[in-house]
Amino acid sequence: MKFLKKNILLITVLCAFVFSANAGTGNDNLITCVANECYDEPSEIMQVATGKAGELIDSFYQKRHKYDGFNGCVMVAKDGVPIYSGAFGYGDYYDKDTLTLESSIQLASVTKTFTSSAILLLVEKGFLSLDDSIQKFFPEFPYSGITVKLLLSHRSGLPDYIYWDKYFIGTDVKYLSNAKVLDLLIRKKPDVRCRPDRLFLYSNTNYALLASIIEKVTGINYKTFMHDVFFAPLGMANTYVYTPDDSETCCRTISYEGRWREWKDGVYDGVYGDKGIYSSVEDLLKWDQALRAGLVLSEETLQEAYKPRSLDRYSFAKEKDKNYGYGWRMIKQPDNSYLIYHNGLWHGSNNVFARDLKDGYTVIVLGNKSNSNNYHTQPVWNVLNQLKTFENLADVDTQE
C-alpha cells in the first residue's frame, strides 16, 4: 500500500494547455476568409473562427433550451481551451437554483471511464493483471472463465443487476450495495446471458464488480480512492462519489423527469462504479486533458483502453462502425480513426463525454432533466469539422 500511495499520488494538478494556431504554409502573406471577412494574421484568423464557432454552438443550445426543454451544461473545447461553454436551466427547479459550469451532475455511465482508469492504473502498478480471474479476488465467485478484461469490455456474460426485482434482491433491502451485488451472485447464482467472451453484452454488474476489486486490492473504499488518486490531485473540486447513505448532499444537483418530477433515490442507487460519480463540465474537461497529457495512464495503456475489443461478427453486426474498449465506447470516423466517448443515462441524467483524440476536440453535455435529445451532438461536430479548415463557417447547418 505504501508503494501504491507513493506512486499514484504523484499525479499532479492538471497542467495548463495553450491553444495556438499554426499557419502551416510558410507564406507570410496568406489571407484567409472566415464568414465573409478576410484576415492575414494566423492568430486573428483562429480567434475569429473559434468565436464564430462558439456563436453557432450557442445558437444551437439556445434553441434546444427554448423549444426542446434542454436543461443542463455544455462544454466544447479544443486542446483543453473552451470554444464554448454554457449552462441552461435549473439545478433545483422548485427553488429556482440555476445551473452553472461548476454544477455537479450525476454522470451515470460516464462514471465507467473513471472506474476503468483506476483498474488500468492498478494494472500498471502491478497490483493486478487484466488476465486475473474474479476468483483471485473473491474465491467463492461461482462463474468460471471471467477475467478483469472481460469485465472492462462487457464480455463477461453476467446478468445486469439493475433488472433484479425486489423479490430477488430482498424486500428488506432499502439500497442495494456493491457487497450485496456480489453476495447475490454468489448465493443465488442468477443465469448468465452468455458464456464468457462470447460477445459484447453491456452489463452494469461488470463495473460494480470492478469497483469491488479496486477496494479489495487497495484496502481503500472506492469513494476515497477516487478522491485521493484522481479528483483531488487533478483539481476536480466539484467531483465526488455519491451514495444515498452519504449525509453531505448539499451540492448535489437534482435529477428530474421530463415534467419536473424529481427522481428519488431508489434501491439501485447504493451501487457505484458503474454510476455514482457526480461532476461538472469544467471538471470533466480537466479529466479529459489529464488523460490526454499522460497524467493518469501511460500512452501504451491508453492505446489498449481505446482499442476495440469486440470484433466478432455478432456483437456489433448492425453497427460495425461502433465498438467498446476498456471503459470507452468508440465510433469509426471517415478517416478510420475512432471518436472515443461514453454516454450516460440514469434517472433524469442524459450525458455525453466525447473526445476527438486526433484533432483535440472535446464535447461534454451534462443534463439533469430527462431528455434523450441530449445525445444528438452532430450539429456541434458539424461546426467543429468546419473549424478545422476555417472555411464556410457561416454556412454550417446546426438544425440537423
| Residue 398 predicted with pLDDT over 90 | no
Percent pLDDT > 90 in the chain is 80
In angstroms, the Cα distances linking 256 to 89, 101, 152, 211 are 12, 18, 30, 27
How far apart CA 354 and CA 274 sit, in angstroms, is 18
| Residue 54 predicted with pLDDT over 90 | yes
pLDDT of residue 293: 97
Residue 91 in 3-state DSSP?
Answer: strand
Among 30, 43, 76, 44, smallest CA distance to 57 is for 76
Q: Do the beta carbons of residue 184 and residue 228 sit within 8 Å? A: no
How far apart CA 54 and CA 40 sit, in angstroms, is 21
DSSP codes joined into one string, 2-13: HHHHHHHTTPPS
Cell of 189: 447464482
The beta strands (E) that lie in the chain are given as 32-34, 37-39, 72-78, 81-88, 90-92, 97-98, 105-106, 240-241, 277-279, 322-324, 329-332, 338-346, 349-356, 361-367
Express each pLDDT in 55-78 by its tens digit: 999 999 999 999 999 999 999 999
Q: What type of residue is 161? A: Y
Express each pLDDT in 18-44 by its tens digit: 222 233 333 333 344 544 555 455 556
Q: Write down the pTM of the prediction.
A: 0.88
Express each pLDDT in 202-212 by its tens digit: 999 999 999 99
Least confident of 117-121, 122-126, 173-177, 392-396: 392-396
Calculate the average pLDDT of the chain. 88
Among 362, 366, 383, 180, smallest CA distance to 287 is for 362
Q: Answer with the residue of higher pLDDT: 247 or 127.
A: 127
Q: What type of residue is 257? A: E
According to CATH, what is the number of the domain 2-30+71-370?
3.40.710.10
pLDDT of residue 388: 77
How far apart CA 106 and CA 103 sit, in angstroms, is 10
pLDDT of residue 36: 54
Strand order in the sheet with 240-241: 105-106, 277-279, 240-241
Least confident of 248-262, 338-352, 355-369: 248-262
CB crowding 345-363: b at 16 or more within 10 Å, else e: bbbbbbbbbbbbbeebbbb
Residue 77 in 3-state DSSP?
Answer: strand
Express each pLDDT in 210-262 by its tens digit: 999 999 999 999 999 999 999 999 999 999 999 898 755 556 799 999 999 99
Q: What type of residue is 172? A: D
Among 361, 364, 367, smallest CA distance to 386 is for 361
pLDDT of residue 268: 97
How far apart CA 323 and CA 144 sit, in angstroms, is 25
Q: Where are the domains of the chain?
A: 2-30+71-370
What mean pLDDT is predicted for residues 300-321?
Answer: 96
In angstroms, the Cα distances linking 170 to 15, 203, 276 are 48, 21, 22
| Residue 320 predicted with pLDDT over 60 | yes
Q: Do the beta carbons of residue 109 and residue 353 sit within 8 Å? A: no
| Residue 358 predicted with pLDDT over 90 | yes
